């Protein structure tokens, strides 16, 4: 998480906001945070003011393209008459790595909270426990090479996209 740098004026404004919120919500923890902000010791308030870094446009597009692709893979799999060439678990979205791709995993969680791609992401968001960014990039590249179809994929198209993971 990035460190937040606050001016004296910003600390004063936030302290005031937290005092008001504490009164409205009958929660003393907000008054404590207001005291911490007013004291000016970053280590007292820094851990309580968590904010995620902005996700780059490239990473945002990677996540959205990956989810759109997995949605297409799953719906195409369901429409296949002969499912012998592709196993159902191969078209399940494995998630992003919580250790190495946490910003992508957090974006998936945020999408789920907004009722987007819930059927793919799951609650909590799936942790692949291994880096996946490069795999997904190759899969998206293969999807684009076959024309980026948005309708049903054939079994051979599904296999070619899945094979691009390696």
Q: Give the domain CATH number at 102.
A: 1.10.3190.10
* pTM of the predicted model as reported, rounded to 2 decimal places: 0.74
What's 96's DSSP letter? B
How far is the C-alpha of 35 from the C-alpha of 18, rounded, in Å? 9
Q: Is residue 123 part of a domain?
A: yes
Query: Are 84 and 151 within one domain?
Result: yes
How far is the C-alpha of 156 from the C-alpha of 159, rounded, in Å? 5
Query: Are 38 and 116 within one domain?
Result: no
Query: Are 78 and 160 within one domain?
Result: yes
Q: Which pLDDT score is estimated for 43?
A: 84
Query: Are 74 and 28 within one domain?
Result: no
Strand, coil or helix: what is 127?
Answer: strand
Indicate the number of domains in the chain: 2
Q: Which pLDDT score is estimated for 57?
A: 95
Place of tokens 């490069």: 134
Q: Which pLDDT score is estimated for 81?
A: 94
Three-state SS string over 121-149 comes to HCCCCCECCCCCHHHHHHHHHHHHHCCCC
Asked whether the beta carbons of 17 and 45 are under 8 A apart, the reply is no
What is the residue range of 149's domain? 57-164
SS3 content of the chain, % helix, strand, coil (to 5): 60, 0, 35
88-116 pLDDT per residue, tens: 999 999 999 999 998 999 999 999 888 89
22-39 pLDDT per residue, tens: 999 999 999 999 999 999
Q: Which pLDDT score is estimated for 2?
A: 63
Query: Are 22 and 96 within one domain?
Result: no
118-154 pLDDT per residue, tens: 888 877 788 999 999 999 999 999 999 999 888 899 9
Q: Is residue 1 part of a domain?
A: no
Place of tokens 């678990």: 89
- Average pLDDT of the segment spanning 4-21: 93
Q: Is residue 101 part of a domain?
A: yes
Q: Is residue 98 part of a domain?
A: yes
Round the average pLDDT of the chain to a whole number and report it: 91
Q: Is residue 92 part of a domain?
A: yes
Query: Are 63 and 143 within one domain?
Result: yes
Q: Which pLDDT score is estimated for 45?
A: 83
């Amino acid at each position: 998480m990035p460190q937040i740098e606050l001016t004296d004026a910003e600390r004063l404004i936030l302290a005031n906001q937290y005092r008001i919120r504490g009164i409205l919500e009958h929660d003393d923890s907000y008054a404590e945070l207001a005291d911490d902000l007013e004291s000016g010791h970053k280590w007292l308030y820094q851990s309580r003011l968590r904010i995620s870094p902005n996700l780059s446009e490239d990473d945002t597009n990677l996540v959205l393209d990956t989810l759109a692709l997995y949605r297409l893979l799953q719906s195409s799999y369901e429409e296949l008459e002969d499912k012998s060439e592709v196993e159902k678990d191969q078209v399940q979205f494995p998630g992003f790595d919580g250790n190495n791709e946490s910003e992508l995993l957090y974006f998936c969680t945020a999408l789920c909270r907004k009722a987007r791609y819930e059927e793919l992401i799951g609650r909590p968001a799936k942790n692949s426990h291994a880096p996946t960014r490069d795999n997904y990039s190759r899969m998206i590249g293969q999807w684009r090479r076959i024309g980026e179809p948005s309708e049903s994929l054939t079994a051979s198209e599904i296999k070619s996209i899945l094979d691009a993971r390696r």
